[in-house]
């Protein structure tokens, strides 16, 4: 591993942090001049543009590149109002995924909404997972507007060689509540970087390759007969989560979480 590539990795981390801070302190106040949908749409567009610039800069410097087959890129680019469930092998999966998808948001941990560098951006462009009922309502509203909602059912990074993959039911609950399909996307990273327990400076001596594969779609199901504010049934959510697991991790042992 070369010191130059480690330094380059550090520079990208610094730029990412400062970029989030600048977006939050400069762009967000400007967007406050606009109303509701226009503001959040503009902020999502700004975030997606920054992510694409980040990916483009990484490719130009040889740090990493994102490889997507033309037919897969075309299918992902056509998604509208869909839950996108992806695996979570690295720290920057949300950047990789949202850089490829059209107008999209993602589910963010509540801790991200308190981060000094990008809390304003997270609260404006993402769905913060700090209240289950509010999350379902917000996601349903955005999905109805044609915005894709990306989520990592593992909840956190899982080691690449993990035999068991524990999935939470959030992706299924959102899809069932909103009556929309789930598109499963598998992210691979070669050689592994930014994995759970792996130092940020361990970036190998060659260009890292991220690849995205379309694993298929779970069709939308009819909304269950239930009060509008109640959650989908546990059985339905477990069943859909099992299908997501089969698509993303066909050879691993599954475990369904809350």
Tokens of 123: 């609260």
pLDDT at position 217, please?
96
Model confidence at 85, pLDDT cuts 50, 70, 90, reads very high
pLDDT at position 158, please?
82
Tokens of 18: 């400062």
Q: Mean pLDDT score of the chain, rounded to an integer?
A: 85
pLDDT in tens, 183-215: 999 999 999 888 888 887 888 788 999 999 999
Model confidence at 230, pLDDT cuts 50, 70, 90, reads low
Tell me: pLDDT of 228 over 60: no
Q: Which helix (H) or strand (E) holds 13?
A: helix 3-22
pLDDT at position 15, please?
73
Tell me: pLDDT of 93 over 90: yes
Between 53 and 18, whose confidence is greater? 53
Tell me: pLDDT of 90 over 90: yes
Q: Are 48 and 104 a contacting pair, CB within 8 Å?
A: yes
Count of C-beta atoms within a 10 Å radius of residue 26: 11
* Alpha carbons 101 and 82: distance in angstroms, whole number: 11
Tokens of 205: 């001596």
Mean pLDDT in residue range 233-252: 90
Mean pLDDT in residue range 99-109: 94
pLDDT at position 187, please?
96
CA dist list (Å): 193 to 54, 164, 188, 198: 16, 20, 10, 7
**Among 34-38, 46-50, 89-93, 124-128, where is mean pLDDT lowest?**
34-38
pLDDT at position 161, please?
72
pLDDT at position 39, please?
74
Residues 6+ apart with CB under 8 A from 90: 96, 157, 187, 189, 192, 193, 194, 195, 210
Rounded to a whole number of angstroms, the distance between the first and last alpha carbons of the chain is 40
**Among 76-90, 151-165, 207-221, where is mean pLDDT lowest?**
151-165
Q: Is the dihedral of CA 213, 206, 49, 26 positive or negative?
A: positive
Torsion (CA) 216, 46, 6, 191 in degrees, nearest 10: 10
**Among 22-36, 89-103, 155-169, where is mean pLDDT lowest?**
22-36
Q: 71-75, 156-160, 234-238: which has the highest mean pLDDT?
A: 71-75
pLDDT in tens, 24-52: 666 666 666 666 677 788 888 888 998 99
* Alpha carbons 124 and 127: distance in angstroms, whole number: 8
Tell me: pLDDT of 143 over 60: yes
Tokens of 100: 């490829």
Mean pLDDT in residue range 49-64: 90
Tell me: pLDDT of 224 over 60: no
pLDDT at position 64, please?
92
Mean pLDDT in residue range 215-236: 73
* Alpha carbons 118 and 17: distance in angstroms, whole number: 7
* Alpha carbons 19 and 128: distance in angstroms, whole number: 20
* Alpha carbons 248 and 158: distance in angstroms, whole number: 13
């Amino acid at each position: 591993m070369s010191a130059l590539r480690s330094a380059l990795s550090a520079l990208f981390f610094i730029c990412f942090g400062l970029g989030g801070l600048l977006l939050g302190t400069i762009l967000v106040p400007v967007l406050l001049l606009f109303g509701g949908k226009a503001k959040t749409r503009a902020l999502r567009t700004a975030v997606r543009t920054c992510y694409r610039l980040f990916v483009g800069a990484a490719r130009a410097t040889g740090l990493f590149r994102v490889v997507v087959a033309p037919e897969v890129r075309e299918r992902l680019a056509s998604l509208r109002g869909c839950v996108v469930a992806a695996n979570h092998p690295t720290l920057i999966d949300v950047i990789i995924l949202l850089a490829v998808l059209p107008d999209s948001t993602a589910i963010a941990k509540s801790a991200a909404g308190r981060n000094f560098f990008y809390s304003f951006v997270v609260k404006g462009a993402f769905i913060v997972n700090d209240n289950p009922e509010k999350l379902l309502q917000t996601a349903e509203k955005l999905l109805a507007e044609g915005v894709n909602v990306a989520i990592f059912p593992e909840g956190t990074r899982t080691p690449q060689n993990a035999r068991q993959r524990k999935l939470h039911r959030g992706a299924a609950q959102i899809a069932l509540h909103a009556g929309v399909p789930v598109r499963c996307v598998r992210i691979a990273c070669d050689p592994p970087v930014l994995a759970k327990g792996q130092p940020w400076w361990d970036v190998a001596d060659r260009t890292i390759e991220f690849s995205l594969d379309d694993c298929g779609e779970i069709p939308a199901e009819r909304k269950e007969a239930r009060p509008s504010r109640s959650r989908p049934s546990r059985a339905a959510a477990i069943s859909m989560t099992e299908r997501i697991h089969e698509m993303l991790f066909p050879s691993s042992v599954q475990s369904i979480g809350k």
